[in-house]
Amino acid sequence: MIMKVPYYVPWITDNDRRNVQKSLKQRWLTDGPFLDKFENKFRQYIDVKFSSGVGSATQALHLSMRALGLSPGDEVIVPTFTFASTANAVLYCGAKPILTDVDSETFNISPKEIVKNITKKTKAIIVVHYGGQSCDMNEILSIGKKYKLKVIEDCAHALGSTFKNKKCGSIGLTGCFSFYPTKIITTGEGGMVTTNDKSILNKVNNLKSQGMSIQAKERETKAVWKYDIIDLGYNYRLDEIRSSLGLSQLNRVTEINQKRIRIAQKYNKLIKKINGLSIPIKKSDRNHIYHLYTIKVEKEYPITRDELFANLFKKGIGTSVQYYPLHLMSLYQQTYKNKKHGFPVANELKDKILCLPIYAQMTDKAIQYVVSNLK
């Protein structure tokens, strides 16, 4: 019998719905108390001084790049094994993303490869904590210090991830979070910038709101109408409706991550017995919250990754390949064709990896169904 096991199901409770209803009763539907509360709670959870709600992680990354003052000719090192947003944020500023190969165990950007790609033009490194397991932040911060590079954390997968007990998003200059529906918590679309640097926060807040010297909200309480445009900004704000959902979801983040970890442990136990499939490798100095549960389909397995993907689809099981590397995407291919350093790890992963369904309310029956089909 076919059972439907989607790749991801967001977890929305009655309490979430009630909180959204409350936000809709307000007169002021953006830049209001729900955003303040969400930002405050988020900042406390990540253990940083400041946070700023935005419309997506893509926007958080773009604002981080703008806050660094990137300009054409600058280079930023980013992993090739990531979603397009990580590199696009650099391109939006007219600068060049330098795609870099990843580690074969964690699939995180490789510190050795970072060093190979540093030039006089390099300004920053964006790391992605792949699948919910932190990069080696000690190594990366020391590279940053040695070469005077800023380190930005793409935390789209990493709400609750830690490195040596420090939360991801509190280690680099900024942390960039996503609340897309597949992520640890969701606001539909949404994101957050975290930082301990007041001047970065000020730049982010100004740029996300059209570069205006006085925000509309301030004009509610002050008798001033005159404002200036001091920078080329955007409308990248997170409204009250989405903030109310985010706040209510954030109250459950520990429970959500505990559930994901338990599901991953069950998968681990069952899948490691299957010849030809390898389970995610977890490092001992960091946690893993399994935003993604990524297996590798090795050559001992009787069918290829693509065949497995198609067979599971026929059985009603949603899976995904995260990621097909950026250096092979049309937009980037031209630039990376003649690159000196290859991408041996990402090139191998692209044919082997498969991300299995994982979401907080996944049942044992669904786990068993996925595993029995893998078998």
Ligand X SMILES: Cc1ncc(COP(=O)(O)O)c(C=O)c1O
Residues that bind ligand X (CB under 6 A): 56-58, 82-83, 85-86, 128, 154, 156-157, 178, 180, 191
What single string gives the DSSP state of each residue in 110-131? PHHHHHHH--TTEEEEEEE-GG
Q: How far is the CB of 178 from ligand X (least distance, A)?
A: 3
Q: How far is the CB of 88 from ligand X (least distance, A)?
A: 9
Q: Toward ligand X, which CB reaches closer, 188 or 342?
A: 188
Q: How far is the CB of 183 from ligand X (least distance, A)?
A: 7
Report the alpha-carbon distance of residue 48 to residue 42 in Å, rounded: 9
Q: How far is the CB of 328 from ligand X (least distance, A)?
A: 17
Q: How far is the CB of 57 from ligand X (least distance, A)?
A: 3
Q: Toward ligand X, which CB reaches closer, 56 or 210?
A: 56
What single string gives the DSSP state of each residue in 75-105? EEEEESSS-HHHHHHHHTTT-EEEEE-B-TT
Q: How far is the CB of 19 from ligand X (least distance, A)?
A: 21
Q: How far is the CB of 60 from ligand X (least distance, A)?
A: 8
Q: Toward ligand X, which CB reaches closer, 130 or 336?
A: 130
Q: Toward ligand X, which CB reaches closer, 64 or 178?
A: 178
Alpha-helical regions (H) of 282-343: 305-314, 330-336
Q: Toward ligand X, which CB reaches closer, 60 or 297?
A: 60
Question: CB 254: neighbour CB atoms within 10 A?
Answer: 11
Looking at the DSSP bridge assignments, the partners of residue 78 are: 99
Provide Rg for the chain, Cα atoms: 21
- Cβ contacts of 69 within 8 Å, gap of 6 or more: none
CB burial of 296-333 (b: ≥16 within 10 Å; e: otherwise) equals bbeeebeeebeebbeebeeeebbbbbbbebbbbeeebe
- Alpha-carbon torsion 65, 71, 72, 73, what sign? negative
Q: Measuring CA to CA, which residue among 96, 26, 35 is closest to residue 236?
A: 35
Report the alpha-carbon distance of residue 142 to residue 164 in Å, rounded: 15
Q: How far is the CB of 157 from ligand X (least distance, A)?
A: 6
Q: How far is the CB of 236 from ligand X (least distance, A)?
A: 11
Report the alpha-carbon distance of residue 289 to residue 157 in Å, rounded: 9
Q: Toward ligand X, which CB reaches closer, 158 or 374?
A: 158
Q: Toward ligand X, which CB reaches closer, 98 or 277?
A: 98
- Cβ contacts of 271 within 8 Å, gap of 6 or more: 277, 279, 295, 371, 374
Q: Toward ligand X, which CB reaches closer, 86 or 122?
A: 86
Instruction: Name the packing angle between helices 14-24 and 240-250 (round to 10°).
Output: 150
Q: How far is the CB of 180 from ligand X (least distance, A)?
A: 4
Q: Toward ligand X, which CB reaches closer, 256 or 371?
A: 256
Q: Toward ligand X, which CB reaches closer, 58 or 210?
A: 58
Give the count of alpha carbons within 13 A of 373, CB side only: 25
Q: Measuring CA to CA, which residue among 112, 35, 34, 56 is closest to residue 79?
A: 112
